[in-house]
């Protein structure tokens, strides 16, 4: 009996030490520091940050920035003096800028499951490649279609956009491994990155009358986009197509 009691005490002490160590680790990685996110409801880049924070169950204060094209708050200018744009994650006394950078930071600062970036080095490198592809060729193609001055320029830009989407379709087919998302059965880094083009793409389709996502050329992306919009970490924060279109009309003074 005395031996068992000693064993029980040892187990209790071990559990206490584990809890203390976990608490110390949380303090060291800043998990107990207050978290704020500066964003705008219409920003596809702020959406990335909100999805990442939701997936990690991080409690934070959301600060809605006004019309950043006309004026910027003192907090935004102080927190992101280089680019002066949203999103900005404020964690304690530190400011983290740029949406993909924020997503990676959230994944590392709150290492609990689910992981956003793959643990496998090759898969992690591939995820980063496609995320940067979206922010590079993806958005460049969308901006080119939107800013085309004539039909010839618009057709050329549309062709480039379709090529980019075809590349993403191929990447989805390979990386999803039969699952609903780029990360397989769960939303991951590439999903969050690609999710930023869903809204702008829907606006381009609405104004141009061209369906860039089609069952013939991008069947996987069509199903992925539907699942992505409906995901519980996305739906509360992502504007509807109608809201995106109405915002674009007001922003560019289009009837």
Per-residue pLDDT of the chain (255 residues; tens, 9 = 90+): 444 444 444 444 544 443 334 333 333 344 679 999 999 999 999 999 999 999 999 999 999 998 767 789 999 999 999 999 999 999 999 999 999 999 999 999 999 999 999 999 999 999 999 999 999 999 999 999 999 999 999 999 999 999 999 999 999 999 999 999 998 999 999 999 999 999 999 999 998 889 999 999 999 999 999 999 999 999 999 999 999 999 888 877 776
| CB-neighbour burial class of residue 33 (10 A; exposed 0-12, middle 13-18, buried 19+) | middle
What is the distance between the alpha carbons of residues 48 and 31, in angstroms, rounded to a whole number? 20
Cα torsion through 230, 214, 247, 74, rounded to 10? 70
Give the pLDDT score at 31.
60
Q: What is the DSSP letter of 138?
A: I
Say how many C-beta atoms besides its own lie within 10 A of residue 67's C-beta.
11
What is the distance between the alpha carbons of residues 253 and 84, in angstroms, rounded to a whole number? 24
What is the distance between the alpha carbons of residues 242 and 174, in angstroms, rounded to a whole number? 32
Which tokens is 139 given? 């958005």
Closest residue by Cα to residue 229 from 219, 218, 238: 238
Spell out the SS3 assignment of 70-137.
CCCCHHHHHHCCCCCCCCEEEECCEEEECHHHHHHHHHHHCCCCCCCCCCCHHHHHHHHHHHHHHHHH
What is the distance between the alpha carbons of residues 248 and 255, in angstroms, rounded to a whole number? 10
| CB-neighbour burial class of residue 22 (10 A; exposed 0-12, middle 13-18, buried 19+) | exposed
Question: Which conformational region is residue 127 in: left (phi greater than 0), alpha (psi within -120 to 50 degrees), or beta?
Answer: alpha
For helices 219-230 and 151-175, the axis angle rounded to 10 degrees is 80
Provide the strand spans (E) within the chain: 35-39, 61-64, 88-91, 94-97
| CB-neighbour burial class of residue 238 (10 A; exposed 0-12, middle 13-18, buried 19+) | buried
Place of tokens 């939303």: 187
């Amino acid at each position: 009996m005395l031996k068992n009691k000693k064993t029980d005490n040892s187990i209790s002490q071990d559990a206490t030490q584990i809890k203390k160590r976990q608490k110390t680790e949380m303090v060291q990685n800043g998990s107990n520091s207050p978290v704020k996110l500066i964003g705008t409801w219409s920003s596809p880049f702020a959406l990335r940050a909100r999805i990442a924070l939701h997936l990690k169950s991080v409690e934070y204060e959301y600060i809605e920035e006004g019309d950043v094209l006309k004026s910027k708050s003192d907090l935004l200018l102080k927190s992101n003096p280089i680019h002066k744009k949203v999103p900005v994650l404020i964690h304690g006394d530190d400011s983290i800028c740029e949406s993909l950078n924020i997503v990676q930071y959230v994944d590392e600062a709150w290492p609990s499951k689910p992981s956003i970036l793959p643990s496998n080095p090759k898969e992690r490198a591939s995820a980063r490649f496609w995320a940067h592809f979206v922010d590079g060729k993806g958005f460049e193609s969308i901006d080119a279609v939107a800013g085309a001055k004539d039909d010839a320029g618009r057709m050329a830009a549309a062709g480039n956009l379709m090529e980019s989407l075809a590349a993403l379709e191929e990447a989805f087919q390979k990386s999803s491994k039969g699952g609903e998302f780029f990360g397989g059965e769960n939303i991951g880094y590439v999903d969050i990155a690609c999710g930023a083009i869903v809204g702008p793409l829907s606006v381009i389709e609405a104004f141009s009358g061209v369906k860039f996502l089609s069952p013939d050329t991008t069947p996987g992306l069509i199903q992925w986009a539907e699942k992505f919009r409906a995901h519980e970490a996305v739906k509360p924060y992502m504007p509807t197509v109608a809201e995106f279109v109405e915002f674009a009309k007001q922003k560019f003074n289009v009837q």
